[in-house]
Amino acid sequence: MNATTYQHWQLEIDAEGIAWASFDKAGESTNSLSSAVMNELGQMLDRLDANPPRGLVFRSGKAAGFIAGADIQEFTRLDTPEKALELVTRGWNLFNRLAAVRYPTLALVRGHCLGGGLELALACRYLLAVDEPGTKMGLPEVMLGIFPGWGGMLRLPQRVGPQAALDMMLTGKSIDAQRAKRMGLADECVPPRVMESAAKILLLSNKPRRPLPFLQRLLNGPFKALVASAARKQVAKRARPEHYPAPYAIIDIWARHQGNALAAPALIDGIVRSSTARNLVRVFFMQERLKGFGKETSFQARRVHVVGAGVMGGDIAAWCALRGLTVTLQDQGMERIAPALERAYAAWGKRIRNKLQLRDVMDRLIPDPEGQGAAQADVVIEAIYENLEAKHTLLSKLEAVMKPDAVLATNTSSLKLEDLRTVLAKPARLVGIHFFNPVAKMPLVEVVSAAGGDPEMARRAAAFVKQIDRLPLPVRSAPGFLVNAVLGPYMLAAMRAVDEGIAPETVDEAMLAFGMPMGPIELVDMVGLDVAMAAGKELAGADVEPPRCLLERFNAGHLGKKTGRGFYDHASGSGGKGGGKGAGRARPGLRPEPFRPVWPSVCSSPCSNVYSNSSMRVLLRMPIWPTPG
């Protein structure tokens, strides 16, 4: 065997003359395509040009993951149009070169293969997917406000047809190994035990790629314009071009420029250096920072006990079970717990195709009417109704049976930790772990500490949040914590505007035009008018007069989406806004200024400069763009 070691790659030629290129990015736990990595890939191709192998296999040298994508750090340094153009050019040319080599090539994809990683795999003749839960393929560039400019827009539609390709590129969602095989993205899907052997056989098979079905070839050829127009209409329902140009650019580059972004240099600059992309990249790094808060202790939960099987408690429990924890779910009687189990069955049944995996998740979610699981739990979360007395009784009962070092948390959004913890023998241990509804779609979780709280318990709470794949945001105990303290005044101002005689549609339209993913009035309907009422009192104080429009509807029992009617009519099934089309136009005089910077007083972490349009989005994760997963 003949091996050459690069900084990030290892190239071995085996006895059969097959070259194995193993990617193991130096100094990082995850493989990403930095410029140094791309340069070395070029050098490897030079070397193989001089002495062509029988075939070339790309694989990961890491224990987990193929290639996560481009190096996002490099995006932050694209301060001139030339640099952006250069970044796209380098990848486009290199992968075109790879696609044109005379010997067969194969990407052995095990683990995540995203963005530039999938573009590399697409440039190979064969794509072999390893059938493991971790294997995911996707082009998520759109979620960073950019596009897959290294050949993804060219090759993915050629491989799977334009509709499936646009779906992947415009939503950023990734697919698993079996699905990749079914849709023609992967040539084979094999278990890890035969992957090397399958790679060799496939590589030397000389097998031509399966041609696209005739219809798909038409759609990717003469009927491109039709597909593009349909896609643009779909996109328009979710995002406005002025706030979110990337999906429109993807459609245009595919339909008009054969997937080659270099043919439209103006688009490149408009996208790559747009404020949307810059902010989304910033959001990406902020998410990484939030994850960091979960890494400050080695605490790992195995068992979680949740009290309260209502919507929040039930969904928190179901989420924890989905993430591999054993969960006991307590409420007064099996009849109260059963609906939460039913919801979990239904939700995870849609999400998990494999019946055995679904069964395992549900086996981990244990109804516990007598609260017997609390004694063995590593994390106990109280999510009962917002009543101080009831919570006092519960918390002292829980503390009496819990392990001394277990995390005791409350999911309260309106009661103060300082008031709740008075009944505890060790008041310092109580933390807030505040989830948002719906739990499965809201990645942000506030980890609340009160003055004098045990910092280790806050660290453990954050580690637990990270463990269940949510983003822990440490905040101080203050009314509304961070998110609601920001949202509250915003929604209040919107409702005051309605009181002043502006139509709800107009208010919402103004904020949509500003760039919010959902109008504030529609948001009140989603959250529930009763919740808005209670939160308003908590945030503004009981003596502040609630908005008239809120009070009237609240008194009439129109509580929003859950009752079918609030500010909008939800019962009709049209999804909401009742008013005529004219009502939805923004009035020039209406300025989006309902924000008041209240948050610096509540945010205990240095990640406080999160006050921007896109930051609001990551906080709330109202789909900026179709949410992954």
Partner 1 sequence: MAYQPVYIVDGARTPFLKARNAPGPFSASDLAVQSGRALLMRQSFAPTDLDEVILGCASPSPDEVNIARVVALRMGCGHKVPAWTVMRNCASGMQAIDSAIANLQAGRAQLVLAGGTDALSHAPLLYNKAMVLWFAGMMQARTLGQKIGMFARLRPSALLSPVIGIMKGLTDPMVGLLMGQTAENLAWKFAISRQQMDEFSVRSHHRVVEGRAAGHYGEIVPLVDAKGRVYTEDDGVRLDSSVQGLAKLKPFFDKKYGRVTPGNSSQITDGAAWLILASAAAVEKWKLQPLGMISDSQWAGLDPAQMGLGPVHAATPILQRHGWGLNDIDAWEINEAFAAQVLGCVAAWESDEYCREQLGLAAALGTLPTDRLNVDGGAIALGHPVGASGARIVLHLLHVLRANQSRRGIASICIGGGLGGAMLVETL
Chain residues binding partner 1 by CB under 8 A are 326, 328, 334-335, 337-339, 341-343, 345, 349, 359-360, 362-364, 366-370, 372-373, 375-376
Among 70, 406, 478, 532, the one annotated catalytic: 70
Cβ distance to partner 1 smaller for residue 253 or 312: 312
- Asked about 152 being catalytic, the answer comes back as no
**Can you tell me the distance from the alpha carbon of 53 to that of 228, in angstroms, rounded to the nearest whole number?**
41
Shortest distance in whole angstroms from residue 366 CB to partner 1? 5
Helix axes 152-160, 245-257, angle to 10 degrees: 70
Shortest distance in whole angstroms from residue 397 CB to partner 1? 15
The residues facing 127 across adjacent strands are 107
Cβ distance to partner 1 smaller for residue 22 or 328: 328
Angle at alpha carbon of residue 135, lines to 130 and 139, rounded to 5°:
120
Cβ distance to partner 1 smaller for residue 238 or 343: 343
Cβ distance to partner 1 smaller for residue 288 or 363: 363
Q: Are strands 2-5 and 303-307 parallel, antiparallel or unpaired?
A: unpaired
Q: DSSP assignment, residue 606? A: S
Among 65, 69, 121, 141, the one annotated catalytic: 141
**Can you tell me the distance from the alpha carbon of 144 to that of 140, in angstroms, rounded to the nearest whole number?**
7
**Can you tell me the distance from the alpha carbon of 453 to that of 595, in angstroms, rounded to the nearest whole number?**
30
Beta strands in 271-363 (DSSP E): 303-307, 326-330
Shortest distance in whole angstroms from residue 468 CB to partner 1? 17
Using DSSP's 3-state secondary structure scheme, residue 565 falls into strand
Shortest distance in whole angstroms from residue 467 CB to partner 1? 17
Alpha helices, H only, 142-205: 152-160, 162-171, 177-182, 195-203
Among 65, 69, 116, 453, the one annotated catalytic: 116
- Asked about 65 being catalytic, the answer comes back as no
Shortest distance in whole angstroms from residue 373 CB to partner 1? 5
- Asked about 82 being catalytic, the answer comes back as no
Could you tell me which residues come within 8 angstroms of residue 227 by beta carbon, excluding any fewer than 6 positions away? Answer: 162, 163, 166, 219, 255
**Can you tell me the distance from the alpha carbon of 391 to that of 511, in angstroms, rounded to the nearest whole number?**
38
**Can you tell me the distance from the alpha carbon of 544 to that of 551, in angstroms, rounded to the nearest whole number?**
12
Tokens 């503004």 belong to which residue? 540
**Can you tell me the distance from the alpha carbon of 550 to that of 529, in angstroms, rounded to the nearest whole number?**
7
Among 91, 115, 119, 180, the one annotated catalytic: 119
Measured over the CA atoms of residue 573, residue 577, residue 582 and residue 584, the dihedral's sign is negative
- Asked about 294 being catalytic, the answer comes back as no
Cβ distance to partner 1 smaller for residue 258 or 372: 372
Shortest distance in whole angstroms from residue 283 CB to partner 1? 37
Cβ distance to partner 1 smaller for residue 341 or 395: 341
CB atoms within 10 A of CB 551: 15
Q: What is the largest CA-CA distance in the chain?
A: 83
Shortest distance in whole angstroms from residue 403 CB to partner 1? 11
Cβ distance to partner 1 smaller for residue 326 or 413: 326
Give catalytic residue positions: 70, 116, 119, 141
